[in-house]
Amino acid sequence: MKYALFLGCTVPVRALNYEVSARKVAHKLNIEFVDINDFSCCGFPVKSVDRDTFLLMAAKNLSLAEEKGLDICSLCSACTSVLTEANKELKEDEYLRKRINKELSVLGRKYEGRIKVKHFARILYEDVGLDKIRENLRVDLSKFSFAAHYGCHYLKPSEIYEGFDDSENPKTLDELIELTGAKSVPYEDKKRCCGGGILGIDEMTALKVAKTKLDHVKSAGADAVCLICPFCSIMYEGSQKKMEREFEAEYNLPVLYYPQILGLALGIPQDELGFRMNRVKPREIIAQLS
């Protein structure tokens, strides 16, 4: 199993714990990642500004993976969504593909529409499979409970994801959590957006959107939030202190990336999973493990 690893903008600078743990987990499960240095921004921020430029940026990235004959594995849900969207349009609409390729020729590149784009969690669920992961489990996490946060772009817009999971009733992340023995706790408004999309537009509004979820997760008694998108983490973990100040609340709620949790269950040493880079330290979880 071999993929081009698409890091996007946020992961390689602001979510190193995600990247480190994802690479370790992939290695353990015999997934090979190929790094392509010329990958750049997926095009997501440009979609609001100029759709053609967004398609060109996506097409450029897609063409780099295609050139190597590889499908793309993305860690960021927003990157996954826009690359999948552009890929679908370019594959299905020959006229659009020709037009975009004509403009892409300024970079000496061309995209033929031959590859797939998948989120890492989807690859774990679909391509590796729950049974194969179970065979590799070494540490039982049954004393923990996590609140699955799906975020938005992992499953939406659903029309681009070929029927993978159900955006109104998602289950894949819950199942991925529960295979480690841990409990995936139900909580109110589970599908709520993190608010990250408007952090740069109106910080207070974005924080208010994020706060509601932390309130719900906290009252459900989860040991940590479990998520799969770097921007959701910026909201729930990176902005947690600020939310505590602004809204006079106390959360002290660890926010973990799914590969950090799976990594523990696979017996990968804690210090290789990037927990030191978590802003809200998962001290109790680590203490209970050792």
249 is a site residue for another protein (CB under 8 A): no
Distance CA 201, CA 199 (A): 6
157 is a site residue for another protein (CB under 8 A): yes
Angle at 169 between CA 266 and CA 257, to 5 degrees: 30
Three-class DSSP category at 140? coil
Residue type, 273: L
Residue type, 149: H
Quote the least distance from Cβ 191 to another protein, whole Å.
7
Nearer to another protein, 135 or 168 (CB): 168
Distance CA 167, CA 72 (A): 22
12 is a site residue for another protein (CB under 8 A): yes
Binding residues for another protein restricted to 19-78, rule: CB under 8 A: 19-20, 23, 35, 37-38, 40-41, 45-53, 56-57, 60
DSSP state string for 45-60: GGGGT-HHHHHHHHHH
Distance CA 72, CA 6 (A): 6
Give the number of residues in contact with another protein, rule: CB under 8 A. 54
Candidates 83, 68, 71; CA nearest to 5 is: 71
Binding residues for another protein restricted to 181-200, rule: CB under 8 A: 191-193, 195-198, 200
Quote the least distance from Cβ 280 to another protein, whole Å.
20
Nearer to another protein, 20 or 73 (CB): 20
Q: What is the DSSP letter of 171?
A: -
270 is a site residue for another protein (CB under 8 A): no
Write out the two tokens for 96: 């659009």
Interhelix angle 77-92/94-104, nearest 10 degrees: 110
Nearer to another protein, 152 or 285 (CB): 152
Among 1, 13, 139, 289, binds another protein (CB under 8 A): 13
Among 70, 123, 209, 265, binds another protein (CB under 8 A): 209
Quote the least distance from Cβ 254 to another protein, whole Å.
20
Distance CA 140, CA 289 (A): 9
Angle at 251 between CA 246 and CA 252, to 5 degrees: 120
Nearer to another protein, 32 or 202 (CB): 202
Give the binding site for another protein (CB under 8 A).
Answer: 7-10, 12-14, 16, 19-20, 23, 35, 37-38, 40-41, 45-53, 56-57, 60, 103, 106-107, 152-153, 156-158, 167-168, 191-193, 195-198, 200-202, 205-206, 208-209, 212, 274
